[in-house]
Structure 1
Amino acid sequence: MHPVILFDGDCLFCHASVYWIAARDRKAVFRFAAQQSAVGQAILAAQGAAGGDSVILVANGRSYVKSDAILRIGRRLSRPWSWLAAAGFLIPRPLRDGVYHQIAKRRHRLIRKRSHCRLPPPELRSRFLDEWPW
């Protein structure tokens, strides 16, 4: 089963992050779903997780949030990102999550405003979940 990244579908920063991750996920390991979508809501319910301002990684039957999710995603990307993520685990979680919270709080200001998100190309579109596979 592929790990699933749940992102805020209303956030342009989050959309840009999905494209960034996909470009560095050379083995196409990750699948993506907006937290607000039907499949996103089903995954959240199945995991007993709350959505909101945190990226959520669902992998191997577990869910990871905030910096743990980001670093676990990073470990599966191409180098040097996998190395940086591995080193990131050396930083204490409260400090990592504090930085994550500051970015999450400002995420809507980090990307210039647009009226809509771009549609993914077909090769990326196939990695977005339209139905819950479990």
Structure 2
Amino acid sequence: MARPRECAILLFDGYCVLCNGWAAFVVRRRGDWPVYFATLQSEAGQAALARAGIEKPPGLDSVLLIRGERVFSHSRAILEILRSLRWPWPLFYVFILVPRPLRDGLYRWFGNRRYRWFGRRDACGIASAHVRARMLSKDSDAV
């Protein structure tokens, strides 16, 4: 299974401790994958959504992955991200075989509890310097 090498943007909830941790996890395991980050609340995130043709910004209930002309959300975004990381993480792409309603139901169940289990930041911010180095600015043209 070949890893997708296309430049991508990962959008996530900047207040969510788990989401910030997920972004740091991706940076440490991305290898040579050209992935950039923006929070869903930021001007850069909103600009990336507009460039992707998403007129009505989604809520904060899902990580989004923009790769080329495709936008992935919920469990599919997570699986596409895992597929793009260094070994052994692409192995988890096998869960694409699980029916999407079941995968997304589990994703939403977990997502609805993320603040309770992992906490919520008082301000939207990125703790990891590695992630900050790959953050988009409002005028970025990464994709």
Q: What's the CA shift for 1:71?
A: 0.4
Whether 1:13 aligns to 2:52 is no
Other-structure match for 2:64: 56
Q: Which runs of 5+ in 2 are unaligned?
A: 1-5
Q: What's the CA shift for 1:2?
A: 1.8
Q: Which moved more, 1:41-50 or 1:14-23?
A: 41-50
Whether 1:22 aligns to 2:30 is no
> In the alignment, is the contact (CA less than 8 A) between 2:14 and 2:126 conserved in 1?
no
| Runs of 4+ off more than 4 Å | 112-118
Q: Which amino acid aligns with 1:40?
A: G
**Corresponding residue SS for 1:21:** helix
> In the alignment, is the contact (CA less than 8 A) between 1:57 and 1:69 conserved in 2?
yes
> 1:118 & 1:69 partners in 2: Cα distance?
20
Which fold has the larger relative contact order, with Cα–Cα distance below 8 Å and residues 6 or more apart in sequence?
2
TM-score if structure 1 supplies the norm length?
A: 0.87
> 1:114 & 1:57 partners in 2: Cα distance?
22
> In the alignment, is the contact (CA less than 8 A) between 1:22 and 1:28 conserved in 2?
no
Q: Which runs of 5+ in 1 are unaligned?
A: none
> 1:69 & 1:103 partners in 2: Cα distance?
15
TM-score if structure 2 supplies the norm length?
A: 0.82
Let me know the Cα RMSD of the aligned residues.
1.9
Q: Which amino acid aligns with 2:70?
A: R
